[in-house]
Structure formats: structure tokens, C-alpha cells
């Protein structure tokens, strides 16, 4: 180990000026030799087994069994220094050349250990190779080869130390539980201003962590990751962030789709405990394959891999890509996110040290277990819970993916607590049907034209159309903070469903406002057909000159609704 450290620190200035090792375990076959960095193309590199005949002594090397876990000293037949002949310079040079070749053989043996994941044996063999080099002191050619091999050994030591932290070891967690000033600051926050949040989240964790831990074990990921939802969502299945991230694991819609979480009119699987946990495991695995360092993985989980990669690409030294190397350049929320996770691990591992009273799981708390019942009827979970005599909250957690806490009007696998499935099947016909939730069409905004009459105020108009004063002012900027006057025309925002009902009662025609984000392949003509309008009206509404629209651009559409259609039919009748 002393030689290893000596070799590494003596050559650190050289390592900084060279690119990092290209080899990682699993990316090459066991018999491949990594490139010799730093050796000029015109220099003669010591011959490998494939480039020269095999000697009798080397045959004996190949026939020997693999090195044990700890290699105390190199085999005698590889210690060529014992055979140095002081008789002639030529004899000494040939012997030292043999040492160069024996050193290269040890490098190949180290490579085999590394590929197998036996890091300690790989490093011990490299120690032996470096010790053999120290015994040579030949002419210029020998010294040049010696320097090249010393550099290669040092770079391989660095690569092995790096790769030791890139293997997912399952229960043998590689997550380094660091303690520093940033972590201590987050611990103090949990002890004081966020104490109630932490204790409440910890209590909720009893219900979810057994499910999460089981999934992590099957995937071979560290169990410590089961505490990540405490930092992400406080173990709240319906937690929604400003960035529209939802659920225990806080998936935004696009990442959720990527990892198999569906969203529809009735369900959003980001709120499902089991499905979102599997998606989180898939995402964490992909990030681990990308970064290798668990703390950097967590940073990327919070702010996105693209942001972390941009920060890494801005580093002047290529090997400074660990989390604490990037810490100061990451967004503030992400820079706090990882220390908060580490602070959580410190507290749950030793609550007494941090004066946190973390009670054990209550005896009467239900477990996350269920039976499945097939349904095809729209029912409120509240009605189901009362009929089968289970807590509504428990039924809601088991079926958290239901957006409106109602079963859909199609085949659905409803989760119910154990031993209640049979009862539900027997009384399902007695449970009243629930109203179908409003779809997106009925929630779309429509505009009603209203002519102010004498004595009317904004408050009166807002109550009449079931809207707010603020909404009316928003769509009538000329009002500002002024009051309305008799004879003034206003545009009043209402829902499409309400507009249709008003149209039946003879209300004025209205214009429906829709918004659409331009996608690849969209044209003004195709959008005009889709939204039942004309290209000229789209241009006019969105102040577009020409026919060019850009992907991602948000367009507004004014199109006729039921009231207009009724009005048109009356005109034509």
C-alpha cells in the first residue's frame, strides 16, 4: 500500500495532464489490455503475449492458479531482480528488459482481477508491478519504458479506485453517509423549524417503506434510498410541486411517461405507490449507469441529468465530477437536496444523538396489503369504504392513482384491504353510481358577451355567471380598477358546459378560447381544420405574419361553441 500511495502522488502532476482511463469493468473482455497512455506512437512498447513467442517460464506463469484475495509478494519466477547478472552490461540490460515484460504481465493479471470485480487483488498486483520497476536503473531506452509503465500503473490505480464506487452493491450500500457543514445545517433545520414536518413524515413512512424496501432489494439498490421520499414529498402520495411533479417520488409528466407511468382521464399512476416506486428504481438505475456516484445520481434525480451533465462539462479538470466537486455550481435547491437526504440518514440511524423522538410503528397501523376486485362501475371510494366497513383514507391510499377518488366506467382492478373482497362483490350492486367527473372539454374556458345594464356591478355580473371579479377584469383589461358603466360590453369567462346551458336559455353567442402548443408536423392549415376555424383568424388572434409557426409555440384559438351553433341554426332556419 505504501508503494501504491507513493506511485500515485509522485505521478499526480502527470495524471492531470492526461485524459482519464477509457476502460471500466464490464466494457472490455478479461484478456484485453487497456491502452498505454502517454506512450508516443513512434516509441516501441514492450511486446505483449500476442506479439512475441511464449517462453517456458511464461508458460509456467499461465498454468499457475489465480492470485488469492491478498497477494503478499510476487511469485519468485516473476521477481526478475533476483536473476540480475553483474557480469556484463548486456546481461544486465537483458535482465531489466525481462523485468519490463514481467511488469506488463502483472498488469494483465491485474486487469483480469479488475474485470472480475476483485479490486483489492487488482491493486495488490499493481503494487508488485511497481515494486519490480523500482529495481531497474538501465539505459535511456529502459528508463523510457520504465516511465511509461509507471504512468500506466498510476493511471490504472486511479481508474480502479474510481470504479470501486461505481458498482451497485445492493445491501452493501455504496452511498457515502458524509458529515460536513452543509449536512449539519440541514440536521439543525430538521431539529428546529422543520421538526414537525420531519416527525410527521417519519410516521407516514411506516406504511410505505416496507413496500419500497422490498422493491429496492429485488433491484439490488441500497435500502437507504427508501428514505428519499421523505425529502421528496414527506411521504405524501398526492404531493404536488410548483413544477407539476406529483406523488411520493415526485415525477413530472414527461419523466413519468418515460418510465411507464400512465396518465388519463381517470388515473395518474404517479400517485400509485408500487408503480411509482418501480419507475423511480428504473430512473435511479439509469442515472447510476450514467454517473456512478450515488450523490451525483441524487442531484440528477432532483434537477435532471441534463443540468448535471452541463455542470460537469464545464469543469476544467475532467476527473472532478463527483457531487462535492459540482456542489457550488448546482441550483440552490439541488445543492440542499443531497445534504438533506444525508441529514435524514444520520437522524434515522441515530435519533437519540440528535434529540429526535422517532417512535416505533404503531401497533394498530394497517399494513400495505390488499386483494383485487374487478369493477366496471363508477363509484365513489367513500361509498365503497362505508359499505365494506374500512377507513376511507386506507382505501384511498391503496387506490391512490384514481384522480377523482372514483372508479372508472370501464374495467378496473380495485384494491381493497384483505378479507373484504368477497363482501364487496356481494354488495357492489347496492352501491350507488357516481357522476362521471367533468372532462377537459367541459372545463375549457368560453367567453360570454354581456352588455352592462343600469345598476349592475362587477360583483353582480360575476355571481350571475358563476365566476370572479378578478377573472372578468383579466379578460377586460380596459377596466383596470375602474367600475363598469351602463351600456359597456364585457367578455365574461365561463366553462364550456355552462356556456352551452346559457345558450339554451337564449344567452348571447359566445367565443370559446382554446390553447395549443405547436408540435412537430403542425401547420396553420392543419390546426385550422382541427379547431374548426380559418388560417386568417389564427393569424389575427395570434398576431402571426406569414405561414410560419415554431414547435413549442402556444397558439390561441377562438372558435364557435354550442351557443354559436344554435344562433347560426336559428339564422338559417
Show which residues are catalytic.
Answer: 232
Burial of 28 (0-12, 13-18, 19+ CB in 10 A): middle
Q: Rounded to an integer, what distance in angstroms lies between the CA atom of residue 132 and that of residue 152?
A: 14
Backbone angles phi, psi at 491, to 5 degrees: -105, 120
Residue 331, Cα to own-chain centre: how many angstroms? 16
Residue 567 CA: distances (Å) to CA of 128, 268, 444, 464, 500: 93, 39, 20, 22, 12
* Angle at CA of residue 39, ends 36 and 42, nearest 5°: 125
Torsion over CA of 196, 198, 200 and 203, rounded to 10 degrees?
-150
Indicate left, alpha or beta for 40 from its phi (over 0: left) and psi (-120 to 50: alpha). Answer: beta
Q: What is the DSSP letter of 246?
A: B
| CA–CA separation, 557 and 538 (whole Å) | 6
User: How buried is 254 (Cβ within 10 angstroms: 0-12 exposed, 13-18 middle, 19+ buried)?
Assistant: exposed
209, with CB counted inside 10 A (0-12, 13-18, 19+), is buried
The SS3 assignment for 414 reads strand
The cell numbers describing 326, all together, are: 459540482
**How far is 234 from 228, CA to CA, in rounded Å?**
9
Q: How many CA atoms lie within 13 A of 485 on its CB side?
A: 4
> Helix or strand or coil: residue 541?
helix
* Residue among 353, 361, 348 at smallest CA distance from 224: 348
CB 541 within 8 A of CB 558: yes
The answer to whether 532 and 561 are in contact (CB under 8 A) is no
Burial of 64 (0-12, 13-18, 19+ CB in 10 A): exposed
The Cα 37–Cα 156 span in angstroms is: 10
- Alpha-carbon dihedral of residues 335, 340, 345, 350, nearest 10 degrees? 130
CA distance 371 to 478: 59
Three-class SS state of 498: helix
Give the Cα separation of 128 and 72 in Å (integer).
9
Listing DSSP states for 151-173 in one string gives: HHHHHHHHHHHHHTTSS--TTS-
571 Cβ contact partners less than 8 Å away, ≥ 6 residues apart: none
Nearest to 122 by CA among 135, 108, 134: 108
Amino acid at each position: 500500500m505504501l508503494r501504491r500511495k507513493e506511485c500515485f502522488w509522485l505521478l499526480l502532476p502527470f495524471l492531470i495532464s492526461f485524459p482519464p482511463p477509457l476502460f471500466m469493468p464490464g466494457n472490455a473482455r478479461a484478456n484485453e489490455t487497456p491502452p498505454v497512455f502517454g506512450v508516443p506512437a513512434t516509441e516501441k512498447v514492450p511486446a505483449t503475449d500476442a506479439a512475441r513467442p511464449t517462453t517456458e517460464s511464461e508458460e509456467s506463469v499461465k498454468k499457475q492458479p489465480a492470485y488469492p484475495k491478498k497477494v503478499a509478494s510476487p511469485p519468485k519466477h516473476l521477481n526478475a531482480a533476483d536473476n540480475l547478472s553483474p557480469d556484463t552490461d548486456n546481461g544486465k540490460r537483458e535482465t531489466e528488459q525481462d523485468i519490463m515484460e514481467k511488469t506488463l504481465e502483472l498488469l494483465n493479471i491485474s486487469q483480469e482481477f479488475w474485470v472480475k470485480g476483485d479490486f483489492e487483488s487488482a491493486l495488490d498486483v499493481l503494487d508488485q508491478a511497481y515494486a519490480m520497476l523500482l529495481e531497474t536503473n538501465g539505459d535511456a531506452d529502459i528508463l523510457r519504458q520504465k516511465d511509461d509503465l509507471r504512468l500506466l500503473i498510476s493511471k490504472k490505480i486511479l481508474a480502479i479506485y474510481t470504479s470501486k464506487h461505481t458498482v451497485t452493491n445492493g445491501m452493501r450500500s455504496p452511498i457515502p453517509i458524509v458529515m460536513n457543514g452543509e449536512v449539519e445545517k440541514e440536521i439543525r433545520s430538521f431539529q428546529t423549524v422543520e421538526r414537525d414536518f420531519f416527525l410527521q413524515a417519519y410516521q407516514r413512512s411506516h406504511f410505505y417503506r416496507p413496500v419500497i424496501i422490498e422493491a429496492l432489494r429485488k433491484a439490488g439498490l441500497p435500502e437507504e434510498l427508501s428514505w428519499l421520499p421523505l425529502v421528496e414529498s414527506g411521504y405524501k402520495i398526492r404531493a404536488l410541486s410548483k413544477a407539476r411533479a406529483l406523488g411520493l417520488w415526485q415525477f413530472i409528466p414527461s419523466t413519468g411517461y418515460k418510465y411507464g407511468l400512465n396518465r388519463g382521464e381517470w388515473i395518474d399512476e404517479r400517485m400509485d405507490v408500487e408503480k411509482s416506486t418501480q419507475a423511480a428504481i428504473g430512473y435511479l438505475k439509469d442515472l447510476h449507469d450514467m454517473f456512478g456516484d450515488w450523490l451525483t445520481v441524487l442531484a440528477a434525480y432532483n434537477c435532471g441529468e441534463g443540468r448535471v451533465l452541463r455542470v460537469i462539462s464545464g469543469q476544467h479538470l475532467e476527473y472532478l465530477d463527483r457531487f462535492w466537486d459540482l456542489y457550488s455550481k448546482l441550483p440552490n435547491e439541488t445543492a440542499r437536496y443531497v445534504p438533506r437526504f444525508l441529514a435524514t440518514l444520520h437522524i434515522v440511524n441515530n435519533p437519540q444523538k440528535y434529540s429526535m423522538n422517532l417512535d416505533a410503528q404503531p401497533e394498530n397501523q394497517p399494513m400495505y396489503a390488499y386483494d383485487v376486485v374487478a369493477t366496471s362501475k363508477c363509484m365513489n371510494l367513500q361509498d365503497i369504504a362505508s359499505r365494506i366497513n374500512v377507513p376511507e383514507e386506507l382505501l384511498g391510499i391503496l387506490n391512490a392513482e384514481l384522480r377523482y377518488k372514483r372508479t372508472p366506467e370501464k374495467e378496473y382492478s380495485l384494491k381493497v384491504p384483505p378479507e373484504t373482497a368477497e363482501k364487496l362483490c356481494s354488495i357492489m350492486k347496492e352501491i350507488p353510481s357516481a357522476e362521471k367527473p367533468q372532462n377537459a372539454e367541459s372545463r375549457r374556458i368560453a367567453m360570454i358577451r354581456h352588455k352592462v345594464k343600469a345598476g349592475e356591478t362587477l360583483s353582480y355580473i360575476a355571481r350571475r355567471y358563476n365566476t370572479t371579479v378578478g377573472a372578468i377584469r383579466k379578460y377586460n383589461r380596459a377596466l383596470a380598477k375602474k367600475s363598469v358603466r351602463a351600456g359597456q360590453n364585457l367578455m365574461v369567462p365561463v366553462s364550456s358546459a355552462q356556456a352551452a346551458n346559457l345558450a339554451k336559455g337564449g344567452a348571447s353567442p359566445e367565443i370559446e378560447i382554446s390553447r395549443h402548443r405547436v408540435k412537430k408536423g403542425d401547420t396553420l392549415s392543419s390546426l385550422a381544420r382541427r379547431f374548426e376555424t380559418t388560417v386568417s383568424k389564427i393569424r389575427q388572434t395570434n398576431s402571426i405574419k406569414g405561414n410560419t409557426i415554431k414547435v413549442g409555440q402556444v397558439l390561441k384559438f377562438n372558435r364557435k361553441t354550442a351557443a354559436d351553433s344554435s344562433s347560426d341554426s336559428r339564422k338559417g332556419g
